[in-house]
């Protein structure tokens, strides 16, 4: 489970940086690398969203330690 949480955290950082670039410069790095709304881009976005759910669900348990 620790490995899954580490992967989720890395994906959240990638997603956060991407949204920062979108907000500041209107530049979508994921779309620039994988193409605009290709299957690969959509998979990356879904993985980032699932990572957010996983980390949010794990946050209460993590904050108790």
5-64 residue pLDDT tens: 999 999 999 999 999 999 999 999 999 999 988 999 999 999 999 999 999 998 888 777
Indicate the pLDDT class of residue 2, thresholds 50, 70 and 90.
Answer: confident
Give residue 45's pLDDT: 95
Give residue 65's pLDDT: 59
Closest CA to 7 of 46, 60, 54, 57: 54
How does 21-38 read in b/e, with b if 16+ C-beta sit within 10 Å? eeeeeeebebbeebeeee
Q: How many CA atoms lie within 13 A of 13 on its CB side?
A: 6
Q: What share of the chain is helix, strand, coil (3-state, %, to 5)?
A: 85, 0, 15
């Amino acid at each position: 489970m620790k490995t899954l949480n580490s992967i989720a955290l890395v994906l959240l950082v990638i997603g956060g940086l991407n949204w920062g670039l979108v907000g500041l410069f209107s530049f979508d790095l994921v779309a620039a690398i994988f193409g605009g709304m290709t299957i690969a881009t959509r998979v990356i976005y879904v993985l980032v969203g699932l990572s957010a759910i996983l980390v949010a669900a794990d946050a209460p348990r993590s904050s108790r330690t």
